Structure 1
Amino acid sequence: MLTHALIGDEGRTIELGWQDGTRTRFHAMWLRDNALDDKTRSAGNGQRLITILDIPADTRIGAAQIRPGALELSFVPEGRTVSFPAQWLSAHAYDRVELRKGGWTSDAIERWTKTTMQNSVPRAGYAAAGHDRQTLREWLSAVRRFGFAVMDGVPTESGALCKVSDLFGYIRETNYGRWFEVRAEVNPSNLAYTNLGLQAHTDNPYRDPVPTLQILSCIENTVEGGESSVVDGFAVAEALQTESPEGFRLLSSYPARFEYAGSSGVRLQAKRPMIELGPDGELLCIRFNNRSLAPTVDVPFAEMGKYYAAYRRFAELIEDPRFEVTFKLEAGQAFIVDNTRVMHARKAFSGTGKRWLQGCYADKDGLLSTLAAIEHGFREAAE
């Protein structure tokens, strides 16, 4: 509930008071640019119908009136009156005084370790997720919160993993194809196609943009060993930052280089930090793949020794068993990982028996869009 609206700075700003005693300030230009009326935004899709140049540079608030559940503002010199829901203003307030330390994550993200996750791996049944929106909502929400989830009851047929992707989005095709096989090969083009163990890693850091989701589906698994494991890179980054702020600074300030040239006609290269932060310090992405790391040439000579020490310590923490959650995929099971956050690994397995997995890539924006649409539908139904 709004308690007062005080226009200031000759109409260039306004201060709003709320029932809980807090106060938030807004700029007239910001409010006008974000107006919700049908002349400013399309009623069909919410996109803007005007540009910043359509708004007078000397836009000010001429009058303000508190209405039930809303704030009504009149802008000059346009002479336009617009109503803003109080709830919308509260949700979009930017007048904050707290300074967040670099490496922060949103409330939608929950970091985890072996202790908190080993016995509570999020999972759902494929059939239930395909027919029940609440089940799908919970599974997608788990991927958003924890960065990974398991799905049971996936058809044990080639290409079935695409049906998992179809639940929320689309396959991202690469030079590996629409999907790729993960089983031992003679003269493999990638170490994933052997029976060797693989260090925890994120996939394809040599791509720009990197695939944001990976799905691995098990069709057959009768080998000894070959367990899958996942590591929360955000939790590891937090541990590094707590232990060595300087190491965290180095890995988040300087770019690493990654490359892949294992297939004929393919030569992929990218340059990004191992720990990527947004301009406001938000932890956005982890890139870690020893197999694809190219020579680092973007770190000054004076910092290279410390950079490599930080890289080594980051790798040690990633290998620390306290961060590792392990499970063995059986036929008909799949797991999905947020490839910008969660690293996955594989234990070595015997040469007898068969282990046949298939993998594919998808994009997180599709998953988050589907989840948001489901959540919006649930809210509308509740109202």
Structure 2
Amino acid sequence: MRDLEQHPITPDFDVWPVIVKPAAVRSEDGALLVEWSDCSISRYHPFLLAENDPSPDVLHPLARETTLSPLDLPGDLLISSAELGPDGTVIVHWTHNHPTSRYHPGWLYGNGWFDTPHTIETTVLWTGKNQPEPPTFDGPTALNDPAVFLSWLTALRDFGVARLENLPNQDGLLMQVVERIGPIRESNFGRMYTLEIKDDPDSNAFTSDALMLHIDMPTRECPHGLQFLFCRDNTTSGGEGIYADAYRIAADLAAEEPEHFKALCEIEWTYNNRSKSTSYKAKGPVIERDFGGRVTGIRYNTWLRAPLVASLQEQGRAYRSYRAFAARAQDPTYQMKFAYRPGDLVAFDNRRTLHGRNGYDAHGGTRFIEGIYSDRDDLLSAIRSLERSFTTETTS
């Protein structure tokens, strides 16, 4: 969107404040080079700029999506020259009599290549020793104050677990909270489920037994990204929640037991749910990484692993590495333990934060905990949208 009225629109609805101003621009081998007031230099491929041209011939002014096919551009299109407008707008002139383009300087700075990526790492790795409880916020305040709600969401993103407390025992409240973030993702347990004891359970969760640390839904091609547990009543003894940061476990394995870390990233286990009415099955390594080697997800659930069909040598390697991961997951040093109190809503990243519980006395009181799943994408979208709304208020 506009930072100042004179700047061009951008190919999105984000806010791009001009914190660093362009000092000089020029064409370099047909690409755009921008020197900035902080002495940094960024470069832009001609095709990147041409297909993000904010003119109405290229960018739909309402949808902010390009209407241009890559083949609509000459294959040898180059930038012939560039100049700065009085307000810092970057003006680009093209070969092939292609129409002149104008670019928002804040958008250019935010999307430029500076030889090294301008990324901000928000992930906070933790153990139970340095993070004995989740980041916690007053629930009624968060639901009434968008700034506090945003703080809860960013804590969930950064720590992989965050809690609201003091919420009322209200039907439908959990669904309302989750839908403020994004759509609910259903599962074979339904749109919403209750952690109750079943006579014929289709998961260990529907018993009063202790649960080993795990993620849910490793049986899906893409496991559910977020889980929300709302404690509406709890007068039982035991049943404390146990959580661990699997990203921290992975980082420690990479540093201290690299051969096990490597095996956990390479060997694919198959997971299948144990149910009489459904049959979900998926495979993947315990530790998932992107092309840059950054850990992006964990697929760890001891009781849903199917037999590993592989050579004895590969099975030996797989079990040794899995035991190394389990040894850390079950080490109290890594574990965050806390009671589920009435009014608590605990949200966590299901593909990062392992969760489990102590067993509880099912005959010694009542226990009413509701659960819902959604996805990481919705969390990140909600954070960006809220941040954008606050930035718009500040710059307007």
Same fold (TM over 0.5): yes
- The structure 2 residue matched to 1:329, chosen from 333, 337, 340, is 340
Q: Counterparts of 2:59 and 2:301 in 1: how far apart (Å)? A: 44
1:1-383 equivalent positions in 2, closer than 5 A: 1-9=21-29, 11=30, 13-67=31-85, 68-97=87-116, 107-118=121-132, 121-264=134-277, 266-297=278-309, 302-351=313-362, 352-383=364-395
Q: Counterparts of 2:269 and 2:54 in 1: how far apart (Å)? A: 43
Q: Counterparts of 1:162 and 1:3 in 2: how far apart (Å)? A: 50
Scaled by the length of structure 2, the TM-score of the pair is 0.88
Contact 1:26 1:95 in 2 (8 A): no
For residue 166 of structure 1, report the CA deviation from its aligned partner. Answer: 2.5
Percent of aligned positions that are identical: 29
- CA 16–322 in structure 1, closer or farther in 2 if over 3 Å, else same: same
AA in 1 matched with 2:302: N
Scaled by the length of structure 1, the TM-score of the pair is 0.90
The 10-residue stretch of structure 1 (19-28 or 194-203) with the greater mean CA deviation from structure 2: 19-28
Contact 2:203 2:274 in 1 (8 A): no
- CA 52–321 in structure 1, closer or farther in 2 if over 3 Å, else same: same
For residue 50 of structure 1, report the CA deviation from its aligned partner. Answer: 1.4
- What do residues 26-61 of structure 1 show as CA deviations (whole Å, max 9, x unaligned)? 221222223333322222232222122222211110
AA in 2 matched with 1:257: T
- CA 323–40 in structure 1, closer or farther in 2 if over 3 Å, else same: farther
For residue 324 of structure 1, report the CA deviation from its aligned partner. Answer: 1.1
Q: Counterparts of 2:331 and 2:54 in 1: how far apart (Å)? A: 50
- CA 155–97 in structure 1, closer or farther in 2 if over 3 Å, else same: closer
* Counterpart secondary structure, 1:359: strand
Say how many residue pairs are matched.
373
Q: Counterparts of 2:94 and 2:188 in 1: how far apart (Å)? A: 54
AA in 1 matched with 2:96: P
**Unaligned residue ranges in structure 2 (runs of 5+):** 1-20
For residue 240 of structure 1, report the CA deviation from its aligned partner. Answer: 0.9
For residue 213 of structure 1, report the CA deviation from its aligned partner. Answer: 0.9
**Unaligned residue ranges in structure 1 (runs of 5+):** none
- CA 243–87 in structure 1, closer or farther in 2 if over 3 Å, else same: same
For residue 301 of structure 1, report the CA deviation from its aligned partner. Answer: 5.5
* Counterpart secondary structure, 2:91: strand
Q: Counterparts of 1:239 and 1:187 in 2: how far apart (Å)? A: 39
For residue 307 of structure 1, report the CA deviation from its aligned partner. Answer: 2.7
For residue 336 of structure 1, report the CA deviation from its aligned partner. Answer: 0.8
* Counterpart secondary structure, 1:207: coil
Q: Counterparts of 1:330 and 1:76 in 2: how far apart (Å)? A: 67
Contact 2:202 2:274 in 1 (8 A): no
For residue 81 of structure 1, report the CA deviation from its aligned partner. Answer: 1.4
Q: Counterparts of 2:353 and 2:391 in 1: how far apart (Å)? A: 30
The 10-residue stretch of structure 1 (21-30 or 370-379) with the greater mean CA deviation from structure 2: 21-30
For residue 148 of structure 1, report the CA deviation from its aligned partner. Answer: 1.3
C-alpha RMSD of matched pairs (Å)? 2.2
AA in 2 matched with 1:200: L
* Counterpart secondary structure, 1:111: coil
Alignment partner, residue 5 of structure 2 = none
Q: Counterparts of 1:335 and 1:94 in 2: how far apart (Å)? A: 39
The 10-residue stretch of structure 1 (321-330 or 161-170) with the greater mean CA deviation from structure 2: 161-170
For residue 202 of structure 1, report the CA deviation from its aligned partner. Answer: 0.8
The 10-residue stretch of structure 1 (368-377 or 179-188) with the greater mean CA deviation from structure 2: 179-188
- CA 358–305 in structure 1, closer or farther in 2 if over 3 Å, else same: same
- What do residues 354-373 of structure 1 show as CA deviations (whole Å, max 9, x unaligned)? 22212111122222222211
* Counterpart secondary structure, 2:108: helix
Contact 2:228 2:371 in 1 (8 A): yes
* Counterpart secondary structure, 2:100: strand
Q: Counterparts of 1:331 and 1:162 in 2: how far apart (Å)? A: 17
AA in 2 matched with 1:345: G
AA in 1 matched with 2:239: G
AA in 2 matched with 1:202: I
- CA 304–76 in structure 1, closer or farther in 2 if over 3 Å, else same: farther
The 10-residue stretch of structure 1 (240-249 or 89-98) with the greater mean CA deviation from structure 2: 89-98
